[in-house]
Every structure is written in structure tokens, then in C-alpha cells.
Amino acid sequence: MLKRIALISLVLLSMTSCDNKQNSKPAAQPAPQVKQVVIPNFNADSAYNYVKKQLDFGPRVPGSAAHKQCAEWFVDFFSDKADTVYVQDFRTRLYDGRGIDGKNIIAAFNPEAKKRILLAAHWDSRPFADHDPDEKNWNTPIDGANDGASGVGVLMEIARILKNNPLNLGVDIILFDLEDYGAPYFLNLMTNDDWALGSQYWAKNPHIYNYRAYFGILLDMVGAPNPKFPKEYYSQQFAPALSNDIWKVARELGYDEYFTNELGHPINDDHIYVNAIARIPMIDIIHLENNSESSFYPYWHTVKDNLEQIDPKTLGMVGDVVVNVLYRN
């Protein structure tokens, strides 16, 4: 009798064990956390006002009073927005052998971060309206609203955003000087290294020893109505993956009508020296057109490159793309 009771108990225990196995379910795993990326809004009207303020000083030709006053304004502005501001004074030579002083202005955000992104534009304006249809204007300094001030205006608004919405990565904004003092067209002395003198100097003498950046974006002529931003040729040669990624962001934002999936002309701009000398992959967002006179927008290097040519919509579109690139990284 005791043996039968023991056997029944063993059977019952076995059945209970089987039921427990059949009814048991693995513990529910928590859903993976999806990182929420908040992209700050880019204020196009604010960027437009920064463009206007630059033009209010007058043509920002190196050596002029307007150039000096505008530089002081930049330093004050970025000192309020960035963690550190560097003023890089340098001396170089022009196309005719004359010595001239330049001033690169660098604003560093989160300077301790190892991963850094470089944003740049040139802030000087051309001393010659050498592509103006009226020969009388050829020696007239231009306002440089689109050619210079537009890119700077976008970067100033981005600086305001970065102050209010800090990133974990580091961002450096560089305003290059003496980009646009190359030999005038009418002298037929054009050589590539006469241009982008500020970026040439910085690439050889960065503001921080052994400076490195993950990548760079140059803005040039980013304010005209109905712009055309193909993928600039040298950008595709130096940094094709970066160029393609940025144009993909523009497409996702609905700007593919303007950021076209086409190969643009090769342009000798500041990004050439950042790529070739500083070894930082940098692309150029620049308005390019196919026409017989030049590759640039119609009022390039004319006295009509003034505030009338600036469309806040274009500034906002370019700023939106750059902000999205920054905050998605």
C-alpha cells in the first residue's frame, strides 16, 4: 500500500511538472528604446537680418573700415554664443605681390568633444565688380550679399541655435577671410591660388594644433531666389559619401527641386584647401548654373549682388538642411 501511494505521488508530481512547463512563458522583454531626435527650427528671418547687418557696414573689403567694424561685430556676436572664440590674424600676399592682413574668426562649441563638425563660409566681399555688364563698375567694391554674407548669415543663426540647444558633439564655425580677392577678370591674371587665401592659411595653421574634424560643410552663395545646388564636382571627388548623405537629407526634407542629384562644375573654393591640406573631408553647398558667362548665379561679382537678391526662403532651406545634419549625428 505504501508503494502504491508513493507511485501515485510520483505520477502526480510528474504531471504537475509537465503542466508547469506547458503553462510557463518566457518573461516579456522590454521594447528597445528608440532615440528621439529633436531638430530645432531654423529661423530664416533671423538669418536674413544677419545678412542685412553685414551689408549695413558697407563692402567688407579687407583693409577697409567696414571690414574692421564687421569683424568686431562678429567677435562680439560669437563671444555671446560660443564657448570659445579664436581670432586668427595673418598676413599674406595678393595676386599682384602686395602684402595684406587677413582675419579668420573661429567659434568653437563644446570644445572638449572629440567628435567635431566644421562649418564655414567666407565673410569678406570682393573689391571688384569685374563681371558687371557696365565696365565703369569693374573697380567698384560689391556688397557681396549672396557671395559671402548669405553663408555667414546662415552660420550665425546656427550659432544661436547651438547655444540654446547644445549638442554632445563639437561644432566649429569658421569665417574665412580673403576668399574673394583674386585677380580681377579684366587683367587676365587668373590663377587658382590667388583665391581663398584665408582658408589656405588656416589649413596650414589651424587654430588648434593637430585639429581634426569628422567632416566639414562650406556654404557659399546660399541666399538667392530659386537656387540650384547640384553636387559640386570637387566635393564629389574628395568626399562623395558625405555629399550624397547631405543631399539625401535635403531630399527627405522636400528640397530635392533645389538640391539636385546632378554633378556641378568644379569650383576652386575654400573647401579645396581644407580637403587637400588639412585632410578634412569637406563639401561645398554652392549655387551653380549652366550658362555661357559663368557657373554662378546671374549677379555674381556685380554691383547688383545686394540685399534685393536675398530670399529668406533659400536661407531657411539651406539652414534647415545643415541643422538636420548636425542634430542627426
Q: Compute the average pLDDT of residues 173-184.
A: 97
pLDDT digits (tens, 9 = 90+) for 313-323: 999 999 999 99
Could you tell me which residues come within 8 angstroms of residue 114 by beta carbon, excluding any fewer than 6 positions away? 170
pLDDT digits (tens, 9 = 90+) for 91-122: 999 999 999 999 999 999 999 999 999 999 99
- Please count the structural domains in the chain: 1
> What would you measure as the largest C-alpha separation in the chain, in angstroms?
125
Q: Compute the average pLDDT of residues 285-300.
A: 86
Burial classification of residue 45, based on how many CB atoms lie within 10 Å of its CB (0-12 exposed, 13-18 middle, 19 or more buried):
exposed
pTM, full prediction: 0.89
Residue-averaged pLDDT of the chain: 91
CA distance 18 to 12: 10
pLDDT above 90 coverage of the chain, percent? 85
Q: Compute the average pLDDT of residues 14-25.
A: 46
Q: Compute the average pLDDT of residues 36-54.
A: 95
Q: Compute the average pLDDT of residues 136-163.
A: 98
* 311 within some domain: yes
* 322 within some domain: yes
pLDDT score at 32 = 52
Burial classification of residue 136, based on how many CB atoms lie within 10 Å of its CB (0-12 exposed, 13-18 middle, 19 or more buried):
exposed
DSSP 63: T
pLDDT score at 191 = 76
Could you tell me which residues come within 8 angstroms of residue 168 by beta carbon, excluding any fewer than 6 positions away? 110, 113
* 11 within some domain: no
CA distance 260 to 140: 34
Compute CA distances 25 → 12, 19, 20, 29, 31, whole Å: 22, 12, 10, 12, 17
Beta bridge partners of residue 284, listed in sequence order: 218
* 34 within some domain: no
* 69 within some domain: yes
CA distance 144 to 307: 9
Q: Is the pLDDT of residue 7 over 60?
A: no
* 260 within some domain: yes
CATH number for the domain including 301?
3.40.630.10
Q: Which of 178, 187, 71 is nearest to 130 (CA)?
A: 187
pLDDT score at 37 = 78
DSSP 263: B
Contact, 303 vs 129, CB < 8 A? yes
Q: Is the pLDDT of residue 14 over 70?
A: no
Q: Compute the average pLDDT of residues 28-32.
A: 55
Grade residue 16 by pLDDT with cuts at 50, 70 and 90: very low
* 252 within some domain: yes
pLDDT score at 290 = 81
Domain range for 117 is 40-328
Grade residue 22 by pLDDT with cuts at 50, 70 and 90: very low
* 31 within some domain: no
Grade residue 295 by pLDDT with cuts at 50, 70 and 90: confident
Contact, 217 vs 305, CB < 8 A? no
3 state DSSP class of 241: helix
pLDDT score at 21 = 44
**Residue type at 151?**
G
pLDDT digits (tens, 9 = 90+) for 50-89: 999 999 999 999 999 999 999 999 999 999 999 999 999 9
pLDDT above 70 coverage of the chain, percent? 88
